[in-house]
Amino acid sequence: MGLLALDPPGLRHPHPLTSWRRRWIDDIVPVHTVVVVEDEDVVVGFAAVDLRTRELSQIFIAPDHQRRGIGRQLLAWAQAQMPAGFSLHTLANNVGSRAFYRRHGLIEGATRTNPYNGMETVEYRWAPP
């Protein structure tokens, strides 16, 4: 089973898992710093930051591992990587993620269409106090 199959209904990525794998290999891994969270040798979460653009471009926690503090740890990791602040984009209809970012002090910004998947996203920004 691929990561895309774990998405809740309505949040499923429109591209197949093979496209995602290629994007990770070609576009993300070469220019991002990536951290992976494992539980008993199974990947249960990850995050990727682009230090050049100060963007948290990827953050994911497996649904059965949410609400265990993993997201908070990944967000803290991103803050340590980019202590001057950063931005991220999340799907506009991802209500859970949007609430998580607000709870952790990120400020909501503009919406846009993601050029890769064609879905509406909302920008969030974090700046140190």
Domain boundaries, the chain: 3-126
Q: Please answer whether residues 87 and 125 qualify as being in contact, where contact means their C-beta atoms are separated by less than 8 angstroms.
A: yes
pLDDT at 75: 96
Which pLDDT belongs to residue 23? 72
Q: In the prediction, which pLDDT does 62 show?
A: 87
The answer to whether 70 and 44 have CB atoms below 8 angstroms apart is yes
Structure tokens at 92: 């506009």
Q: Give the tens place of pLDDT for each residue, 15-72.
A: 566 776 777 677 777 788 999 999 898 889 999 999 999 999 989 898 888 889 999 9
Which amino acid is present at 79? Q
| 3-126, CATH topology level | Aminopeptidase (3.40.630)
Report pLDDT for 4. 34
Query: What is this structure's pTM?
Result: 0.80
pLDDT at 78 over 50: yes
pLDDT score, position 129: 87
Q: Are strands 107-113 and 33-39 parallel, antiparallel or unpaired?
A: unpaired
Using alpha carbons, select from 103, 101, 102, 57 the residue that is nearest to residue 81. Answer: 57
Closest CA to 79 of 51, 102, 103: 51
The rounded Cα 3 to chain-centroid distance in angstroms is: 13
